[in-house]
Amino acid sequence: MIYKTSEGDVELSKLTRLYPAVVVDMQGEIAEMSLEWMDLYGDKIKLVHKVRTVLTFETKDALMVEIQEVAKYLK
């Protein structure tokens, strides 16, 4: 099933994971983390970008909107 986004098409059957959801800069070290981790420690690190497959999002809200849209396809 193809999910169309403004960033490109995503083949949902090839989706292998939803995490990591954020890429962060921890004092020069780049790391991938979950949204939950970001909520707990986000004030201590620099957010590089949100991630879902190959798509990037500027805010958690924008990411959550996309996740909710994809969830409609998976039900």
12 part of a folded domain = no
30 part of a folded domain = yes
Q: Provide the domain limits for residue 65.
A: 17-74
* Dihedral in degrees, nearest 10, Cα atoms 43, 35, 54, 26: 30
CA 56, CA 62: separation in Å to the nearest integer? 9
28 part of a folded domain = yes
Count of domains forming the chain: 1
3 part of a folded domain = no
Position 26 scores a pLDDT of 81
Position 27 scores a pLDDT of 82
Position 44 scores a pLDDT of 81
9 part of a folded domain = no
Low pLDDT (below 50) residues in the chain: none
10 part of a folded domain = no
56 part of a folded domain = yes
2 part of a folded domain = no
